[in-house]
Amino acid sequence: MTNKILNQIKKLFQSQLAIPIIALLILVVFNLIRDPSFFSIVIKSNNLGNTVLSGNLISILNGASELVILSIGMTLVTSATKGQDISIGAAAAIAGSVFVKILRSGSINGGTILLALIFACIIAIIFCLFNGILIARFNIQPMIASLILYTAGRPIAYWINGGATPNVESPLLTYIGGFIPHIAIPTPILIVVAFVLLINLLLKKTTLSLYIQSVGINERAAKLNGINPVIWKLVVFVILGICVTMAGSINVCRIGLINHETILLDIEMDAILAVAIGGNSLGGGKFKLSGSILGAYIIQALTITLYAMKVSSTAVKAYKAIVIIIIVVAGSPVVKAWLGHMKDKVMAKKTAKNVKVEAK
């Protein structure tokens, strides 16, 4: 039994998830040494008198919610198109603006929120498909194609609400962005769990994952096997549209307003890094969603750790960049090849030594 567990652990550390798992373990050990109570969870009452869970661990899981959702969309886009969409933050701003616009058109109730989500999702999908068409039909490099929306997206979000940053107040929105009464876990965490389960179900029960990876690995071969690369590239942008809608709407519900300039600012960079930290190739092809999700939580854990160490908000990005560079370089093909070479060298010496001992 012990050997079986050890073999499973060895297999895990030899897999694509090795780098993110090691990075997460280092963060956990570092924080436990620095502050043994860092990951403690406390039960307290919030402003509404509800009993809720609180602590750094809850802050990490809750704060990373939008990033996890966007990292899933970014992973699929990267896999199919061999590039990254840098406009997801701007697209989320547009979706959030449409969400707020519909909410302010009448009284806020369950039906209005659902209608606002549907409209925001349709608009977000249209904008994401604009990028998808440029990439799939006109073969424009993804980062260049999405640069248009990256530049114009936030001004469009500003225009949707007439150049204002309107508030939206409702207990229902507070429940979505905060806590549902009598449920101690933040609602965004529950939304992420449900979304991840749904995406996993979609990828495992359909051929979606196979087709996306086939297009990303070898588009010509996929076409010869009857797979239409254009259609499947557009499909991932439809999924991305759903992701940016969810992220934008959750963020609006968190803060109770839409600010086109600050909503999910620079989150596209974190999403790309989450994909890379998760061991996924930024050149497309095979992907592992669990790696990207783990990468998103690592980025958020690093951010919370730096704030806990009293690092100023202006310096946080610099520290994050240094740590992330180390993680990404450690997981690069060059470093992996070098480690493999060193391992083979050590094993060869060990074998030669054993042969000499047996000969004696």
Q: Residue 202 belongs to what H/E stretch?
A: helix 187-205
Predicted confidence band at 343 (pLDDT cuts at 50, 70, 90)?
Answer: confident
Tell me the C-alpha distance between 2 and 6, whole Å: 6
Which amino acid is it at 273? Answer: L
Which pLDDT score, from 0 to 100, does residue 51 have?
Answer: 86
Tell me the C-alpha distance between 155 and 43, whole Å: 42
3-state secondary structure of 43: strand
Query: 289-313: per-residue pLDDT in tens?
Result: 999 999 999 999 999 999 999 888 8
Which pLDDT score, from 0 to 100, does residue 2 have?
Answer: 65
Count the neighbouring beta carbons within 10 Å of the beta carbon of residue 163: 9
Lowest mean pLDDT among 186-190, 296-300, 336-340: 336-340
Q: Which two tokens stand for residue 73?
A: 């969309």
Mean predicted lDDT score pLDDT of the chain: 89
User: Does residue 57 surpass a pLDDT of 90?
Assistant: yes
For residues 328-338, give the mean pLDDT.
76
Query: 77-101: per-residue pLDDT in tens?
Result: 999 999 999 999 999 999 999 999 9
Query: 108-133: per-residue pLDDT in tens?
Result: 999 999 999 999 999 999 999 999 99
Cβ within 8 Å of residue 141, ≥6 positions away: 83, 135
Tell me the C-alpha distance between 6 and 314, whole Å: 43
Predicted confidence band at 1 (pLDDT cuts at 50, 70, 90)?
Answer: low
User: Does residue 224 surpass a pLDDT of 80?
Assistant: yes
Say which residue the tokens 């854990």 belong to. 301
Tell me the C-alpha distance between 139 and 133, whole Å: 9
Taken in order 233, 329, 346, 1, is the CA torsion positive or negative? Answer: negative
For 23, phi then psi, to 5°, come to -60, -40
User: Does residue 53 surpass a pLDDT of 70?
Assistant: yes
Closest CA to 295 of 10, 13, 64: 64
Q: Which two tokens stand for residue 200?
A: 């996993």
Which pLDDT score, from 0 to 100, does residue 12 have?
Answer: 59
* Prediction pTM value: 0.91
**Pairing status of strand 42-45 against strand 51-54:** antiparallel
Tell me the C-alpha distance between 273 and 283, whole Å: 13
Which pLDDT score, from 0 to 100, does residue 7 have?
Answer: 65
Tell me the β-bridge partners of 257: 167
Which pLDDT score, from 0 to 100, does residue 355 have?
Answer: 64
